[in-house]
Amino acid sequence: MKQLILIGLIFLTMSLNGNELSWVDEQVSAIKPERVGVSKSEIAAIKDPFIIYNTIEKIDKDGKKSVVIVKKDLDKIKFPKEEKKVRLILQAIINNSVLINDKWYKIGEKIGKYTLKDIRGTLVMLVYKKKKLVLSTDTYTQNLKFKN
């Protein structure tokens, strides 16, 4: 008799718990259908959110200055090209030749925008207009020490 009551109680709790979780099945079935996103044509039709304004100073006939704000068209703006900064590494000096960035150069040759002007001991001087750049084979790291 006790076994029948115990089995009955277990069956009753299972049926009650089954009804409590039925809402989970409803939620899962609601999100099962495939959702449709935005098409590529709709994305392409979106206007650019960035607006660039230009200020222009105008002088009236009376000599009064006024500032006018004008919207620029992004398609007509020419942005300056960024120069890639190349790190020049002097690797070796042999007689009148130097090894910079895995290429050999002699005095007078161009290395990018610089011209190789002078070679002295462990130093090399490069010149571009009035700007001078000195490269050295000396190492300045504390961990590694080389003798030249």
pLDDT in tens, 93-114: 998 899 999 999 999 999 988 9
Cα R_g (the chain), whole angstroms: 38
Residues 42-59 have pLDDT tens digits of 888 887 777 777 777 777
pLDDT score of 117: 94
* CB within 8 Å of 146: residues ≥ 6 apart: 139
Q: Is 128 helix (H, G, I), strand (E, B) or coil?
A: strand
Considering the chain, what is the average pLDDT of its residues? 79
Distance CA 113, CA 90 (A): 16
Residues in the chain, total: 148
Using N-to-C axis directions, what is the helix angle for 22-31 and 2-20, rounded to 10°? Answer: 30
Which is more confident, 30 or 15?
30
- Give the range with max mean pLDDT: 9-23, 78-92, 120-134: 120-134
CB 119 within 8 A of CB 105: no
Tell me the whole-structure pTM to 2 decimals.
Answer: 0.41
Residues 124-142 have pLDDT tens digits of 999 999 899 999 887 655 5
